[in-house]
């Protein structure tokens, strides 16, 4: 949704289908769908399923500000530890390449 992997009004897999595909309990999928709906990322149509909601760029302003604050802290720490500006810029380019290549970014490990 944020990275345009899913398009506006695209139908999401049913809870049962996604649970089978991911080998996850359907209750977990249902909770995730409910949370996504409460945050405005998806909407449900009774008898039809769940769909990707229209997201405006301004919907993410608070998240962007938190991200900027976090990045400033991380960049400051990286510079303090001796990383160069060139190394940091290469890291940004690497992440962009990975995203455009569909590999994404592993936010859990904090490594591309």
In a domain, 27, yes or no: yes
In a domain, 92, yes or no: yes
What is the distance between the alpha carbons of residues 7 and 14, in angstroms, rounded to a whole number? 17
Report the predicted TM-score, pTM, of the whole model to 2 decimal places. Answer: 0.48
Among 4-8, 45-49, 69-73, 75-79, whose mean pLDDT is lowest?
4-8
Residue 110: predicted pLDDT: 44
Q: Are residues 64 and 45 in the same domain?
A: no
For the chain, what is the domain count? 2
Residue 6: predicted pLDDT: 77
In a domain, 106, yes or no: no
Instruction: Look up residue 35 and give its two tokens.
Output: 């949370």
Q: Are residues 50 and 73 in the same domain?
A: no
CA dist list (Å): 24 to 1, 14, 21, 50, 71: 21, 13, 8, 18, 33
In a domain, 4, yes or no: no
Q: Are residues 68 and 50 in the same domain?
A: no
| CATH (domain of 44) | 1.10.10.10
Q: Which domain holds residue 67?
A: 60-100
Residues 60-74 as b or e (16 or more Cβ within 10 Å = b): eeeeeeeeeeeeeee
What is the distance between the alpha carbons of residues 3 and 14, in angstroms, rounded to a whole number? 22
pLDDT-based confidence at residue 111 (cuts at 50, 70, 90) = very low
Residue 40: predicted pLDDT: 86
In a domain, 112, yes or no: no
Q: Are residues 96 and 65 in the same domain?
A: yes
In a domain, 110, yes or no: no
């Amino acid at each position: 949704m944020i990275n345009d992997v899913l398009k506006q009004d695209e139908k999401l897999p049913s809870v049962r289908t996604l649970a089978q595909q991911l080998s996850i309990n359907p209750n977990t999928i249902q909770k995730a769908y409910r949370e996504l709906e409460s945050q405005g990322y998806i909407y449900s149509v009774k008898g039809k399923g769940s769909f990707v909601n229209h997201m405006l760029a301004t919907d993410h302003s608070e998240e962007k500000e938190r991200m900027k604050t976090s990045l400033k802290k991380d960049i400051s720490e990286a510079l303090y530890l001796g990383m160069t500006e060139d190394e940091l810029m290469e890291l940004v380019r690497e992440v962009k390449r990975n995203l455009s290549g569909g590999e994404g970014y592993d936010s859990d490990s904090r490594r591309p």
